[in-house]
Structure 1
Amino acid sequence: MKASIASLYESVELVQPIRPLIIGERCNANGSKRFREALLDDDYDTCLTIAREQEAVGAHVIDLCTAYAGRDEMKDMEILIPTYSSSLKPPLMIDSTTPAVIERALQIYPGRCIINSVNLEDGGVNIYKVLKLVKKYGAAVVALTIDEKGMAMTTADKIGIAKRIHTIAVDEMGLRPQDILFDPLTFTIGAGDETLRDAAIQTLEAIKGIKKELPGCLTILGLSNISFGLSPVSRKILNAVFLHEALEYGLDSCIIDAAKMMPLASIPEEDREICMDLLFDRVKNPEKSPLLTFIDYFSTAAEAKDDGEEQKWKPIETQLYDKIVTGNKDDLEDILDMLLQRRSPLGIINEILVPGMRHVGELFGKGEILLPFVLQSAEAMKASVRFLEPLMEKSDESEKLKILLATVQGDVHDIGKNLVDIILSNNGYMVYNIGIKVPAETIIQKAREYNVDIIGLSGLLVKSAMVMAESLPQYEEAGLNVPIFLGGAALTRKFVAQSCVPAYTSPVVYNQDAFDALKKVRDFEAGTLKATEWVAASDVKEVKPGLKDGNVLRDNPVPEAPFLGDRIIRDIDLEEVLSLINKQALFRGRWGYRRGKMTAQEYEDLIKTKVEPLYEDFRNQFLNEGLIDAKAAYGYFPCESRENSLVMSHKGKEYDYAFPRQGEAPFLCLSDYYKNADEGGDVAGLFVVTIGEEVSKRTAELYAADEYHDYLMLHAFSVEVTDALAEYWHKRMRRELGIASSEPENIHGYVTQQYQGSRYGFGYPSCPDISAHGLLFDMLKPDRIGISLTENYEMVPEQSTSALVAHHPQAKYFAV
């Protein structure tokens, strides 16, 4: 099974299809001055901004380290982890060596993360403590090649320490090899230390040796250490060449500032050669070491090249081609103006721009360029085409291959589809991107209207894969005879081949990603496109239903419910509800009042003079103007777990709630938190709460009157009030169940779930099937308090929410 980690929003494989796994390093109090200063100033908004910047430039994972002298590492983690987990798509790497901090981080992070790190520096005392937590919470872990003597210098020592750790982690603690990332460590070759001249070689050989000697285990490096002490320009280039070599030797992941990565293809051959001489200690001049040669070279030639001087003598066509390959938009319009004096707009696109993007795709396929740089190239391509389009003849557009893209009905996700749009449109194809939640009838209509050559369907949800399969006969009956490309996270080659291909006469083709789609489009142009086939030998083992890790306690007492069945409550203490509003989430997240570049005092003054008065104004409106009509439908029901299902009983009927199980340790499923029939059964809580529809009417009036500020502020406030109502009702149910002996002292305690049990909203990661609302509505009858369901199981009014309540002491948020 492929090892993955996960955030609330996405799962990330530890071994990427195009290595490496990029771990953003800038959220580290010891390695980033900007992050450290923000942390010391309690400026958590800037800490989040730095993480978002790493996400924006392509980091797959965000490393988070808050350990710094004078700081409370635990407190900072408790603040930043909920903030990061709710705001960032990439999963986290928890960078700490303190077991208590690591355990707290694992408890409050609603996903599967990497722990960084363990070693044998103390002879093995701490490693057992940390690995026990890694096993308990199902995390992955980084292992450093450090023992009682210090950091390993030679290949043999690095591999030897890795084997010792492997014995402890795999043989003694029961971890899977694929969940261990060994860091053989690298020392700088830029400081002039003669004993470190072969440091790069020792590290590269250690990577190869670890992969060979410890099958299944992964490797990782803090990449930029290799160039410490060198000039910024030369460091960037040396890091890129070293990364390429490390990948050749088997490196799986690297910790690096993703914004400073550069594609190998953008580095001139002479620069690469100088770097290789330094990395492999190749002495070409007996009177000059490779390091001195490197420093002299980059103090002159490289700086000149960095200024773009080397471009001036190149033909103008080559200059534009290079701009596309390197993603450089500087002086684009000037170059295009010069080219227009001797070439047509269509000629420039077909003969220079498209070949440039094709070369980018080839480099990506060979692993010499990473996705962030592909997107930079696409931006340069888009800017060029945008400049040329007004000068093109209409007939030029009609000659392009036409492709229709849509996210299928019921699915609102469009990131993958939009990336396909970017890649295809910037390779010279005409793309009609018709949006999200598109029914089959509209796809048929638009395919005919635009006379397209290919249809591409996208969807993230499991349900979307079924929608694709079920809609194919409609396309067949409508007489469409163009290839249909299918892509999305829930799709597999096997599903497409076995469930989709037979339902449509023309080729139905599985697309792994945007670049695979580009390849398939070119296959279509060449007349070699075929429907997807399935070879059974490539089948992947799946997690068996009911598989459990055994970490969920089975002897916990079942509390006595105050009643069994359902009830309606209309008399709710509004003051107590509003007291549970998360002001930080409201002020910073929903309202957008972030500190930014303000000093701590300036930001405090802003909150006091503007934001708090605004908050009080809306609070008074809700209390005094009838904007909130809080109601609840809730109940307690006998239940029992049956493998991956929770079966509740109510009025003589059984209601089967099915949940997914994690594909990685600890293989959690919501049903694990409830006892089965042999254990005597259990009790489950359900609730639906709403603040009514008056606030929706008021926001509609504000929007119609063009009062957009108040419209946005009021809508955000109403969403936060709904969350507070859910928090209040869950608190009340804990009291009724007799499990409220230890309750949070402040809002932060509620955010980090410092209470027994948990509540799980339908449509969220641990119970993603929103159609379960159908069962819940049949049991609680929330239409009695004015809540209804749409055909897609969304609740109306918008300011309504539901939850399944678990009393188990280990129940916390987790992602599947």
Structure 2
Amino acid sequence: MKPSVASLYQAVELQQEIPPLLIGERANANGSKKFRELLLADDYQACVKVALEQEARGAHVIDLCTAYAGRDELADLTTLVRLCAGALKAPLMIDSTTPACIKACLRLYPGRAIVNSINLEDGGVNIRRICRAAKKYGAAVVALTIDEKGMAMTAAEKVRIARAIHAIAVDEYGLRSRDLLFDCLTFTVGSGDANLRDAAVQTLEAIRRIKAELPGCLTVLGVSNISFGLAPQARRILNSVFLHEAVAAGLDAAIVDAAKIVPLARIPAEDREVCLDLLYNRQGEEVKDPLLRFIAHFSDKAATPAEDGQEGDSKPEEQLFQMVMDGDKEQLEDVLAILRQRFRPIDIINQILVPAMRHVGELFGKGEILLPFVLQSAEVMKASVTLLEPFMDKAEGTAATTVLLATVQGDVHDIGKNLVDIILSNNGYLVHNIGIKVPAETIIEKAREVRADLIGLSGLLVKSAIIMQESMAQYREAGLTVPILLGGAALTPKFVAESCVPQYDAPVVYCADAFAGLKAVQEFEAGTLTATVYDGATAVKAMKPGIRVAEIDRTNPVPVPPFLGQRYVEDIDPAVLFSLINVEALFRGRWGYRRGKMGAGEYADLIEGTVRPLYEELQRKALAGGWIQPRVSYGYFPCRAEGDAVIVQADGAEHRFSFPRQAEAPFLCIADYFKTAGEGGDIAGFFVVTIGPKMSEETARLYQADAYHEYLLLHGFSVEVTDALAEYWHGVMRREMGIGGTQTQNALGAVTQNYQGSRYGFGYPACPDLEAHKPLFAFLKPEAIGITLTENMQMVPEQTTSAIVAHHPQAKYFAV
């Protein structure tokens, strides 16, 4: 395997097929005045921009150094490493001589970094501390040829020190030879110092010898050191020629400003010869002093566009494309203003923005971009269109494929639908998102009004799927002939193919996620869209009502509840819920930060360095903003099992809860966990919990503000906080019934339940029928804490959940 380093997004081979590996040098407080001034102004985002500019100009790796007098290097470096980790595709070189800073940065960087640097200046104290950290975190290391005597001047001294460093790093601390990049530290040939006339020769010879005498080790060089003291335009040419010579000698990596390297073929032959004379200290009858000849030769040459950096800048259309790819909105208005001088706004959208967004979608499909970053790209797309709209003719853009989106009648869940809206809108389609709880009659009316080319329907729960099925005939009878796309957690390809497709005359298509919806629209445009077909075989065993196959203990004692009837609770501290959040479900499921092609260590670094800080920041914002307002209505009620039903006595009346039974072994049903009247009856607990409406209001605000990434994060967070509240209150009820138990989490946040009994949420797999909310609301009366029911029996606010609590020791979560 070739030696490589990696960022959060990609791996980069240290030995490039066409060498060298280019390491950007401008994000350095000691080497770049611009970067230093931004750092001193605490403008971290602008500092990251400097790194991004180097990446855009061809740097494979970015050197990051914040060491500067009067600054807190640890705070600066860790802050910028965290920001760069999320913004840069190029891996980082962490440039510090302080072991504590290096270790802190390696701990939080979600990739494989290079450490710059180690040496023997202090006799080997720091090198051992840094090598220990590099071994622990798997970093590569730059090794400088320095010992107690200082920087090695001759090739022999450089090689001797390299051997000593290799012995410590490889033999003592277990690094591999390929983990070491030796920097032979060239001196300037532009000072006039007679002792430095052969500085380039000694460095090139040291590179050759290290490559030959330390097999597997790599070499790196700060190329611009060779030209210190010379005129800027002359430096650029000399640096470029020296880099070419160093690569020929075996150089693997170069720390340079990639934008200021000129290809050798573009350097006139006379200029090259003057540079080579200086580098190799070639003297003779015609050239008695190579340095004086060099200075004289370049003194009358004006800087060309290629030399002053103007030509090295990417074109504005390339900049905009890359800004979409990077999710970077900084300077967006300026770039668009330049482009508007050359292109019509509609052409900017269709020729630059849409292709960029579609490329993002392709990368997502390959697993090379995660959903949160797709949404950041979509934000750039949306902001661009908003900035261009005032300059567009009204007739422009009207030919786009039109899609009508709606969440079906009675369903209050909109995250899936809104993600489809984001993806389609930012791929150039005209989307009419008409909201939640939309009846079929409104969908038909709006489809005609906007002349929709396709209709997309969304719904979360089983009842919503049934509504989709029942409405197909209504759409057919209304004369609609456009394709209908169906999505939602309760849907399956089999259900859509067998229950929906036959009832409608145009294609009905199952879409597993937002990108499946995008693919369907693209197939529609291509004329290849077809109805979903299910060719799987599912054997379903017929069951007789009331049958019990699983062996359920009927002798368990019935606990004594602290009271019978219903109570309200409104004084819960929101902070206590955070320890109960299923962090793994949040990060991977709700937010989309999945491991995919990443290694275990790389994924762990992503979670700790990027995702967990986002999570902790949301916790702080939620508490400070008062977004979480926990309220509970709950109670304990006498009950008895009758077949597959539980009959509950409350307020002098009986309320029947009918539960489905599994069609296959072990044929479980919730009613199995409660005693019959003949067994003496039982006690059932019930609750409805909510975190209130403020979280929904905040997510709606973010969506309307086109803050798609934040919207996704906050919505997923709100769902898991709601579930944490349900788990918290379940714990309260277990304690009140005297059955106790705990919930534990592993290192990544996966939850394991260690307690007696279980809670079964209405609308979820063990009891999917939301009609149970009618009797539940009759005796828990949650309207008093702000909870209402839709006509489809879903609860409002969305961040609300309900459950029946079974105390039986064998009661565990299952699906029917």
TM-score bucket (shorter structure): 0.3 to 0.5
TM-score scaled by structure 1? 0.46
